[in-house]
Amino acid sequence: MSNRFPENFLFGSASAAYQVEGAYQEDGKGLSIWDEWVKLPGKTFQGTNGDVATDHYHRVEEDIALMKEMGLKAYRFSISWTRILPEGRGRIERKGLEFYHKLIDGLLENGIEPVVTIYHWDLPLALQKEYGGWEDRKIVEDFKAFAKILFDEFHKKVKYWIVLNEPNIFTQLGYVMALHPPGMKDMGMYLKTYHHTALVHAYVVKLFKEKGYEGKIGSSIAYTPGYAKTNDEKDVEAQRRYYETVNHYIMDIYFKGKYPSWGYAYFKEKGLAPEILPEDEKVLVESAKMTDFIGINYYQSATLAYNGEDGIGLSDFNVSGEKGNFRESGIPGLYRQVYNEKLKYTDWDWAIDPDGLRYALVEISERFGKPILISENGMGAFDEVSEGKVQDGYRIDYIREHIKACYDAIEEGVDLMGYCTWSFTDLLSWLNGYQKRYGFVFVDFEKEDLPRIRKDSFYFYQEVIKTNGENCLKK
């Protein structure tokens, strides 16, 4: 391969509705579980919320103009369910659809490929209240109806669809760690809701294929590859248990249609495994074959060590950005995640490991044999404006090294469709407020008119796109 990425490679960037749009009660929008959660005392960092966010809803033309200036090939965004269906089902709000037509048309007119995430965590509050949202199989029918509205409305314009964003994260944080709505700590409920997400993915993919819409469809999983801390057999066994109960568990059900046997048997023995109906098996296997690509959100790797039956449990995350607060976390009897001396860490104690991305891409490609889209990758940092500039060289280094890792993975045979950074503009971090920034475009949240300022990384990524990655690959 020449020292460039394939010509049709999608160098893009991403966002999610709740994190950028604002306008949370405008044009008939209904409330989502996040609109409620952020108002409960103590649930988010310093009580931050997405009522206004970056005000993307009103500034969509300005944001697209910045994307065009950068030369972005693809923009991944999500659709707010309650803008379209304020009560979660039934009455359709036309103004919601019009907003997304405006966004999609604006992207297409500027040569930017829209990549649509159908669900990025903002479940209609009405469905949560009525039947517990993801806790009930009823979610499948409501989700399918929502997805069908989107396919019918946008299928002529949108070629890339991501059904779910990080189902492993929103179920884990919502049902094991009580950090996201609905704030429960119940392992069995986590596994049950995760199973329901897999069913939603499966039925929506089947619908998409059977109705013959053109385009490609997948879902995005947050994937954290894991290494054994040492070659001691206990650590190696901890790594295997991590794969069986985490990585293979979350991936296989989506992209093979069944759970890994050791992992499922482990949860079954504990009385925690989800019920699998005969019709589930059928649709999961069928749709796994129909799924066009695997979306991967990659931020960091994990290093795993032995954790005895009386070992440590899950710990909360660093949400303050005070570096050096890494805390070991684990499941007694399975594994524990430890600090990796060989890696550098961000201020939020996330391991910076570009080679982990290459490693993840190769293992996923070999296990599932499908094309992969990196739907998120990026570095959260405290950025500062000085004399009108944001000098985020650390982010440039991070992205350059991860792009190199993509190139290496392609050379090792991975069919990689594209690379979307997280995120285009700065935006709301669900648990870390507005101080943890990821964007190429700085948003000054202190000022009422939310000015946008291009960071150094903006110009760097512009060059990445212009040279099709060549500027990252030079020795």
Going by C-beta distance under 8 Å and a sequence separation of 6 or more, which residues neighbour residue 458?
A: 66, 70, 440, 441
- Output the smallest distance, CB 316 to ligand BG6, in A: 12
Contact yes or no for 340/355 (Cβ under 8 A): no
Would you count residue 126 as binding ligand BG6 (CB under 6 A)? no
Q: Closest CB to ligand BG6 among 301 and 429?
A: 429
Going by C-beta distance under 8 Å and a sequence separation of 6 or more, which residues neighbour residue 365?
A: 372, 409, 413, 414, 415
Torsional sign, CA 469, 460, 300, 261: negative
Residue 459, token pair as written in the block? 């110009």
Would you count residue 197 as binding ligand BG6 (CB under 6 A)? no
Contact yes or no for 48/84 (Cβ under 8 A): no
- C-alpha 263/C-alpha 245 separation (Å) is 5
Selected range binding ligand BG6 among 95-103, 399-407, 413-421, 430-438, rule: CB under 6 A? 430-438
Selected range binding ligand BG6 among 64-72, 136-144, 247-255, 425-433, rule: CB under 6 A? 425-433
- C-alpha 251/C-alpha 456 separation (Å) is 36
Q: Closest CB to ligand BG6 among 340 and 432?
A: 432
Would you count residue 376 as binding ligand BG6 (CB under 6 A)? yes
Which of 224, 318, 429, 457 is the binder for ligand BG6 (CB under 6 A)? 429
- Output the smallest distance, CB 232 to ligand BG6, in A: 32
Q: Closest CB to ligand BG6 among 267 and 430?
A: 430
Selected range binding ligand BG6 among 230-238, 264-272, 389-397, 424-432, rule: CB under 6 A? 424-432
- Output the smallest distance, CB 376 to ligand BG6, in A: 6
Coil, strand or helix: which one is 289? helix
187-210 vs 248-255: helix crossing angle, rounded to 10: 30
Which of 44, 239, 432, 457 is the binder for ligand BG6 (CB under 6 A)? 432
Task: List the interface residues with ligand BG6, window 87-116 (CB under 6 A).
Answer: none
Selected range binding ligand BG6 among 97-105, 193-201, 431-439, 454-462, rule: CB under 6 A? 431-439
Active site residue 61: no
Would you count residue 165 as binding ligand BG6 (CB under 6 A)? yes
Would you count residue 44 as binding ligand BG6 (CB under 6 A)? no
Selected range binding ligand BG6 among 29-37, 155-163, 396-404, 428-436, rule: CB under 6 A? 428-436
Would you count residue 38 as binding ligand BG6 (CB under 6 A)? no
393-411 vs 354-368: helix crossing angle, rounded to 10: 30
Residue 244, token pair as written in the block? 């069986």
Contact yes or no for 155/144 (Cβ under 8 A): no
For the sheet containing 226-228, what is the strand order? 226-228, 302-305, 335-338, 329-331
Would you count residue 422 as binding ligand BG6 (CB under 6 A)? yes
- Output the smallest distance, CB 19 to ligand BG6, in A: 6
- C-alpha 263/C-alpha 282 separation (Å) is 20
- Output the smallest distance, CB 429 to ligand BG6, in A: 3
Catalytic residue among 21, 93, 135, 166: 166
Query: What residue has token string 């693809």?
Result: 74
Which of 16, 79, 238, 284 is the binder for ligand BG6 (CB under 6 A)? 16
Tell me the C-alpha to C-alpha distance, in Å, between residue 220 and each of 295, 361, 427: 4, 13, 20
Q: Closest CB to ligand BG6 among 337 and 432?
A: 432
Active site residue 376: yes
Task: List the interface residues with ligand BG6, window 258-297 (CB under 6 A).
Answer: 297
Q: Which of 28, 34, 64, 72 is nearest to 50 (CA)?
A: 34
Looking from the CA of 450 toward its CB, the CA atoms found within 13 Å total: 20
Q: How does DSSP assign 73-85, residue by residue?
A: SEEEEE--HHHH-
Site residues (vs ligand BG6, CB under 6 A): 16, 19, 165-166, 169, 222, 297, 376, 380, 422, 429-432, 436
